[in-house]
């Protein structure tokens, strides 16, 4: 029997049928700046149709990590598609940027159209929530690289911001306040530790809880930025609390001669974090450098308007709290 690509484990016809089957999902996320549809060698986006005068593009790439293991075991695949989008669009947002478009990469040992369509359904929903166009992607069938049923995801986002409105640590000054925006749960980090703390049976039984999608902060944050930064810079810096959590990611919003103080009792944590700490006998510092602890994003803001900003987030459906301040120091974060 002669060899061909299909007998070697790569079914091009099935891959093409899969792409045809997701075109309707992709179409639901489109923006007016998108030129053409999916299926070409590259995706086109007309920047001339945007409202920006002195634009800077902002890009990010991320994945979902071992949260995928729980999704695969529970056969719940759409939520990790939302996670994939959230991880990149929230990162782009930290510069004050509006996400424009998104691309995905799906790698698997064997294409299972039903499974992957669920993943793409989640990706399209995440893009809809972020008002970000899903313009393309790659689905790689790689027999021998992945076990049966396994897959991995990567996402790529490009956003845009006016040069004069770029946020970041250079804008932060002594006395600024730190606002925490509530997370939806574990989000997409720390799952290698979660999978050690809970048994496989517990993970499957509580899969809906563990697989709750990462919160996408794009619409509320951009709305609050528009309200508070149109005439002066009241919101100075943002940080997406992901891998490395407070000690790493929050630290990116702090100038080198200052320190961010986080008051750990300033907000009510979800019980899942206390349960994790107890079951895994995890040191508290390790918890704050691994998990978001109930805070998915932080904002460093001018102290005089901190409560106004908290109330504004509340009006946009995001629970927020004053959780810290900027003091003199040597950089980094102190959780007290």
50 and 99 share a domain?
Answer: yes
154 and 95 share a domain?
Answer: yes
Would the pLDDT of 215 be above 90?
yes
More confident call, 281 vs 22: 281
174 and 288 share a domain?
Answer: yes
pLDDT digits (tens, 9 = 90+) for 154-200: 999 999 999 999 999 999 999 999 999 999 999 999 999 999 999 99
176 and 154 share a domain?
Answer: no
pLDDT digits (tens, 9 = 90+) for 99-150: 999 999 999 999 998 999 999 999 999 999 999 999 989 999 999 899 889 9
The residue from 124, 144, 165 where one domain ends is 165
Measured in Å, how far apart are the chain's first and last C-alpha atoms?
A: 69
239 and 159 share a domain?
Answer: no
230 and 321 share a domain?
Answer: yes
- CATH number of the CATH domain containing 107: 3.30.1330.10
- CATH number of the CATH domain containing 284: 3.90.650.10
Would the pLDDT of 7 be above 70?
no
pLDDT at 217: 99
237 and 116 share a domain?
Answer: no
Its domain, for residue 314, covers: 169-335
157 and 189 share a domain?
Answer: no
Number of domains in the chain: 2
28 and 75 share a domain?
Answer: yes
- C-alpha closest to that of 198 among 302, 31, 73, 114: 73
Average pLDDT score, the chain: 93
- What's the pLDDT band for 28 if we cut at 50, 70, 90? confident
Q: Indicate the helix (H) or strand (E) that contains 102.
A: strand 98-108
The residue from 106, 141, 165 where one domain ends is 165
The residue from 132, 165, 198 where one domain ends is 165
pLDDT at 6: 72
Burial of 55 (0-12, 13-18, 19+ CB in 10 A): middle
Would the pLDDT of 97 be above 70?
yes
Q: Are 67 and 192 in contact (CB under 8 A)?
A: no
The rounded distance, in Å, linking the Cα atoms of 221 and 299 is 10
The rounded distance, in Å, linking the Cα atoms of 160 and 59 is 9
115 and 249 share a domain?
Answer: no
The rounded distance, in Å, linking the Cα atoms of 32 and 49 is 8
210 and 287 share a domain?
Answer: yes
Share of the chain above pLDDT 90, in %: 81
125 and 201 share a domain?
Answer: no
pLDDT digits (tens, 9 = 90+) for 60-86: 999 999 999 999 999 999 999 999 999
């Amino acid at each position: 029997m002669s060899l061909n690509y299909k007998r070697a484990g790569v079914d091009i016809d099935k891959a093409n049928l899969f792409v045809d089957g997701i075109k309707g999902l992709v179409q639901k996320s489109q923006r007016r700046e998108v030129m053409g549809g999916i299926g070409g060698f590259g995706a086109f986006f007309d920047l001339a149709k945007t409202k920006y005068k002195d634009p800077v593009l902002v890009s990010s790439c991320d994945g979902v990590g071992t949260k995928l293991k729980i999704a695969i075991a529970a056969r719940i695949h759409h939520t990790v598609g939302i996670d994939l989008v959230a991880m990149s669009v929230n990162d782009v947002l930290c510069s004050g940027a509006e996400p424009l478009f998104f691309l995905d990469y799906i790698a698997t040992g064997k294409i299972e159209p039903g499974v992957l369509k669920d993943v793409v359904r989640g990706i399209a929903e995440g893009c809809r929530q972020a008002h970000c166009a899903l313009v393309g992607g790659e689905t790689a069938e790689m027999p021998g690289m992945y076990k049966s049923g396994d897959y991995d995801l990567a996402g790529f986002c490009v956003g845009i911001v006016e040069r004069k409105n770029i946020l970041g640590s250079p804008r932060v000054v002594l006395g600024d306040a730190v606002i925490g925006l509530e997370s939806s749960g574990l989000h997409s980090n720390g799952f290698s530790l979660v999978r050690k703390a809970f048994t496989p049976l517990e993970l499957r039984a509580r899969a809906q809880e563990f697989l709750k999608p990462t919160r996408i902060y794009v619409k509320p944050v951009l709305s609050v930025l528009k309200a508070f930064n149109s005439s002066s810079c009241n919101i100075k810096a943002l940080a997406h609390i992901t891998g490395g959590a407070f000690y790493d990611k929050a630290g990116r919003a702090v100038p080198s001669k200052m320190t961010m103080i986080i008051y750990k009792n300033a907000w009510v944590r979800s019980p899942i974090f206390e349960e994790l700490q107890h079951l895994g006998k995890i040191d508290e510092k390790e918890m704050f450098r691994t998990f978001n602890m109930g805070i998915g994003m932080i904002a460093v803001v001018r102290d005089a308007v901190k409560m106004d900003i908290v109330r504004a987030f509340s009006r946009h459906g995001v629970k927020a709290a004053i959780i810290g301040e900027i003091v003199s120091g040597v950089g980094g974060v102190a959780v007290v």
